[in-house]
Structure 1
Amino acid sequence: MTQGAAPAVARHHHRAGGAPPPEPSRPTAAKARPRRWKPLLFCAPFIVLFAATYVAPISYAAGSSLFTLHRSGLGLTAPSEVFDPLGNYDRAIHDGGFTASLGRIALFGVVQVPLMLVLALVLALLIDSRSTRGRSFFRLSSFLPYAIPGVSAALVWSFMYSSQSSPINRLLEPLGVAIPFFDHDVVLWSVANVVTWSWAGYNMIIIYAALQAIPAELLEAARMDGASAFRIAWSIKIPAVRGALVLTAVFSLIGSAQLFNEPAVLQPVSDGSVSSSFTPIMSAQSALAAGNYHYAAAQSVLLAVLVGAVSFVFFRLTNRGEQG
């Protein structure tokens, strides 16, 4: 039908007494706009919970860190809050205990995280190997320490480290060896051993799950070409789990910055080697216990900024290596 026939058809219907055919309706902007907001209604519960549990506490801590407590006279009156944006941050930067805890955690992350991830990777490769017997048992036994609460694990290890009841030193006693677990130069690595024992299995499960995504045809083709198990692991499996390694590394770095349970449990039996400012979180907790909430908030904000910067740089470096 041509364009000229359309008016003729309309006139024909009009003469016959029938109503003209309705024109197809087009959605207006007013009708289309509510539809665009409908998906947000499904996201509303998450947005509310995220704002209440993350955005609000972070905003409150950042705002609280901008005030300092001012005491006048002999301290007989209640302290007043004074707006001092840089006062708490300047104090934290010049606080020897807090800066030492940052350096201690940085050393902890540089040494403990790579060693733990290498151990988790080796465990995942061994469990994934076809020649390994009892893989289910080893998978469960490697993951089992993670199922034990961190506080309970630290309590068990405090008994293992005790200078009076350590079964480790009793076994080494015939050799004339005694490990000073709570020495000032050793206590950090005693804590690192507890963290590695607790979290290596968790990281192993993530890496093992990534190994299961490798196509079986690729592995079978490598075996048919005569590649050894070590060659397959080095050239195929490890590159394939690179994303999982990056993910576990970031999680472990963030967890290192949040280290609290293990040193806090070991502190009473450490003979003073684990101080109240052993980690940044413990330092902030100590300020909080002293009633200086603003200073504790400033320490927390500084720690969050440093962890965010380190994570951002780490992601950029790993992504650059992947693109190259």
Structure 2
Amino acid sequence: MSLTMDRPAVATSPVVSRPRTRRTGVPYAFLAPALVLFTLFLAAPILYAGYLSLRKTQVSGLGLGKASRTEVWAGLSNYARSLTDPDFLPSVWRVGAYGLIVVPTMLGLALLMALLLDAARTRESISKFARISIFLPYAVPAVVASLLWGFLYLPRVSPITDLFESAGIAAPNLLSNDLTLWAVANIAVWGGTGFNMIVIYTALRAVPTSLYESARIDGASDVTIALRIKIPMVMPSLVMTFVFSMIATLQVFAEPMTLKPLANTISTTWTPLMKVHRDAFTRNDLYAAAATSVIIALAAFILSFGFLKLVGRRAFSQED
């Protein structure tokens, strides 16, 4: 005889799936302040400058009264005036020579200092002090740095002149026609090397130390490790700093503008941005100033995009 026991039926409640409440608006709320600031202070001025570059003022009659001056469509005439301005091309060549001095010197010094700080024999305490010391000039505003260096360049008040005279050597006039470009470039190199050094040094710190240990076991020296391992590994950072430096070169304004009252060799159109300043605030020609600004922005975009297309795949291949 088989005994069977019936199990009591257990009442099970159906599983009710609760829909998840997705807060889709939260990310946009966090992004909203940045988007508003970007629109108001970057996107809107760029669009307005593009609009002004295609307009001009038409004067009717004797030009007296509000109704005698109207804003009309100008097409590309403002761009033609900017490109054919006799002061535009010399300012472009001057900025090109300035960039050939500043960018390689600044990035070369930044790379050298970053490699020295990352060397195995460098003590951590010395490294921290050196990092702060090299970075400090970048924290000085460009106008203040230009004033400091400007007084160092003036022969009558410069201690550099006293040092040359005490040694019996004629002190060079750093604000002369032949040396003004180097004087302005020196300020940019002094102020920008620290920032680029920090960027490259941060990339070096991210490289696994096991690569260095394996290379030393194979008998590689510090110089070989720097050339064969460190520099190729930080190539993306070098490309990024080169692009930023190139854009900053096209936009150089504060240094020569601050030195202009101290030197007769710096004109109001010494750089393209100084020409924009002259057209907008001295000649009251906002349309030509807007056209020149758009030309500078397009040049920065073309040079940056072209350089990234040229070296980007090779430099960022290790990121894939």
| TM-score of the superposed pair, with normalisation by structure 2 | 0.85
The 5-angstrom pairing of residues 70-81 of structure 1 reads 70-78=58-66, 79-81=69-71
Alpha-carbon separation, structure 1, partners of 2:188 and 2:299:
21
Which of 233, 238, 244 is equivalent to 1:240? 233
* Cα displacement (A) at 1:252: 0.8
Residue segments in structure 2 that go unaligned for 5+ positions in a row: 1-12
The 5-angstrom pairing of residues 79-118 of structure 1 reads 79-118=69-108
Alpha-carbon separation, structure 1, partners of 2:241 and 2:287:
33
SS of residue in 2 equivalent to 1:80: strand
Q: In structure 1, what is the equivalent of residue 53 of structure 2? A: 65
Q: In structure 1, what is the equivalent of residue 223 of structure 2? A: 230
Aligned: 1:218 with 2:211: yes
Which of 14, 23, 48 is equivalent to 2:36? 48
Q: In structure 2, what is the equivalent of residue 254 of structure 1? A: 247
The 5-angstrom pairing of residues 156-175 of structure 1 reads 156-173=148-165, 174-175=167-168
The 5-angstrom pairing of residues 110-149 of structure 1 reads 110-133=100-123, 134-149=126-141
Q: In structure 2, what is the equivalent of residue 151 of structure 1? A: 143
Alpha-carbon separation, structure 2, partners of 1:320 and 1:256:
24
SS of residue in 2 equivalent to 1:277: coil
Alpha-carbon separation, structure 2, partners of 1:321 and 1:299:
34
Alpha-carbon separation, structure 2, partners of 1:224 and 1:38:
53
The 5-angstrom pairing of residues 1-12 of structure 1 reads none
Moved more, 242-251 or 73-82: 73-82
* Cα displacement (A) at 1:168: 1.7
Aligned: 1:286 with 2:274: no
* Cα displacement (A) at 1:177: 3.3
Q: Which stretches of structure 1, 4 residues or longer, exceed 6 Å deviation after superposition?
A: 21-25, 34-38
1:19-60 deviation line (CA, Å, top 9, x unaligned): xx99999x9xxx99x987775455444333322222211111
Question: Is the 8 Å Cα contact of residues 88 and 295 (structure 1) preserved in structure 2?
Answer: yes
1:228-274 deviation line (CA, Å, top 9, x unaligned): 11111111111111011111111111111111111111000112x11
Alpha-carbon separation, structure 1, partners of 2:25 and 2:141:
43
AA in 1 matched with 2:51: G
1:101-130 deviation line (CA, Å, top 9, x unaligned): 122112222231011100000011111112
SS of residue in 1 equivalent to 2:132: helix
SS of residue in 2 equivalent to 1:96: coil
The 5-angstrom pairing of residues 189-200 of structure 1 reads 189-200=182-193
* Cα displacement (A) at 1:162: 0.4
| TM-score of the superposed pair, with normalisation by structure 1 | 0.84
Structure 1's 135 and 83: CA in aligned 2 closer, same or farther, altered over 3 A? Answer: same
Which of 291, 301, 306 is equivalent to 2:294? 301
Question: Is the 8 Å Cα contact of residues 92 and 99 (structure 1) preserved in structure 2?
Answer: no
Residue segments in structure 1 that go unaligned for 5+ positions in a row: 1-20
Structure 1's 292 and 243: CA in aligned 2 closer, same or farther, altered over 3 A? Answer: same
Q: In structure 1, what is the equivalent of residue 6 of structure 2? A: none
Moved more, 43-52 or 243-252: 43-52
Alpha-carbon separation, structure 2, partners of 1:178 and 1:74:
57
Count of residues in Structure 1 that have an aligned counterpart in Structure 2: 300
Moved more, 187-196 or 51-60: 51-60
Q: In structure 1, what is the equivalent of residue 311 of structure 2? A: 318
AA in 2 matched with 1:306: A
Q: In structure 2, what is the equivalent of residue 3 of structure 1? A: none
